[in-house]
Amino acid sequence: MSTSPEQLHYLLLQYANNNCTRKELLELLQAMEDAGHDDALHNSLQNIWQNISDSDQLPAIDKEVLFSNIIEAAAPVYELPAKRFSWLKIAAAAVLVLALGSLAYMYLNKKDPPPQKSIVLLQPFKNDRAAQINKAILSLADGSEIVLDDAPNGTLARQGRTTIIKRNKQLVYTIDPSVQEEEDLHFNILTTPPGKQYEVLLPDESHVWVNAATAIRFPTAFNDHERNVAMTGEAYFEVAHATDKGKKKIPFMVDVLPSGKGAMAGRVEVLGTHFNIKAYDEDEDIKTTLLEGRVKVSATSQTPLSTDNSQLLSPGQQAQLKKNGDIQVTNDVNVNEIIAWKKGELIFNNSTMAEAAPIIERWYNVHVEIKNPHIATCRITVSFLKGETIQQVMDVIGAYNDFTWKMKNGTIILSGKGCE
């Protein structure tokens, strides 16, 4: 199908919420015609369904009225032969009626949900090639890629009314103010390899610091209804305030994608400004730490959302989203320690070597092999700056504990007695 899964999902939401513009309605008709029985359609409907809480109200669907409205909206602007229109566009309208009817049916039967298929929008989108070549990669909406480490400063690309500019380790998305017409959503994906970080200034002027071994997906231009990005790995957000033409605040959502290893998916709804999200593959929990403002953390796994698995955070609190969907909130966390990576600092505070190993791996693009399980329990409290070498770091850590280390083909091997 020519319409991306993300755009199909957006159009379905727009129609379900009665927010479709004429252009969006026509695009949805064409997408439905192209999709047919495509899995993307099923997955988008499933994704909408699982995010509907029991308190939400779906509009009543009168199939005959809906069908008539679609035909009336589509007919005047399609200069196609009558025979083609009568078969193709009416078929597309019928598919849309059935699709939205299915959405209503799923809502009414939420207490006994059907088995879930994999959800397109919540699948990890890591680009392993970034790690293979050890360079940050920007994937554009048309599928082309820009290796950022090799690209010169200046304008990288133009997509719709958006210009992408590189300034050293920062990407800046700027909107042409002379273009007022709202455009279709086009998504970019930034992936960083171990050992490298990047900054992104989003088109709404929100600022995102992207840690090593992270992928983040975002539109090249936000619309007036919502601002939605998705990520896996670790990122720090400073969200800009934005309102629509009616001065209504435009929500900012961060979808945290599952790692594929049994981890939960999560969503962070931004009610404030500054927060950090950490969700690497090897992490047991998705950790959201709030510095300023307020955020709401919710589970978005294979079960429907409810008020029981969402939490509001205040500054200084951290939410840990567990694999079973529970959310544990910790008060008065050391936020400076948590965002130290953003300032180029590597801090271990009473961390075990088992906890420190994956951080060292991401920081220095190495693999850590622990020969003796007693070494994994050794605890370290020490800090380093980004410029310090792996040799300096391992010499200091080894001096604190009873083990030795050596480097072989990019692997740090720890051996010795360790800690009891």
- What residue ranges do the domains of the chain occupy? 5-108, 123-337, 344-415
User: Is the Cβ–Cβ distance between 201 and 173 less than 8 Å?
Assistant: yes
Q: Does the domain formed by 344-415 have CATH 3.55.50.30?
A: yes
Domain 123-337, architecture per CATH: Sandwich (2.60)
Q: Kindly report whether the global pTM for this prediction surpasses the value 0.85.
A: no
Q: Write down the H helix ranges in 202-302.
A: none
- Could you read off the pLDDT of 120-163 as tens digits, one per residue? 333 445 567 788 889 999 999 888 999 999 999 999 999 888 99
CA distance 419 to 403: 9
- The torsion angle over the Cα atoms of residues 129, 384, 390 and 392, rounded to 10 degrees, is 170
CA distance 102 to 120: 18
Secondary structure tally for the chain: helices H, strands E: 10, 23
**Residue 199 exposed, middle or buried by CB count within 10 Å (0-12, 13-18, 19+):** middle
The pLDDT assigned to 36 comes to 53
Neighbours of 261 (CB within 10 A): 11
Q: List the Cα angle 146/151/157 in 5-degree steps.
A: 55
Helix axes 22-35, 5-16, angle to 10 degrees: 130
User: Is the Cβ–Cβ distance between 368 and 414 less than 8 Å?
Assistant: yes
Residue numbers in the chain where pLDDT is lower than 50: 1, 37, 48-67, 70-71, 73-95, 97, 102-124, 302-307
The pLDDT assigned to 128 comes to 72
DSSP secondary structure, 326-378, as one string: -EEEESS--HHHHTGGGGTEEEEEEEEHHHHHHHHHHHHT-EEEESSHHHHT-
The pLDDT assigned to 86 comes to 41
The pLDDT assigned to 5 comes to 58
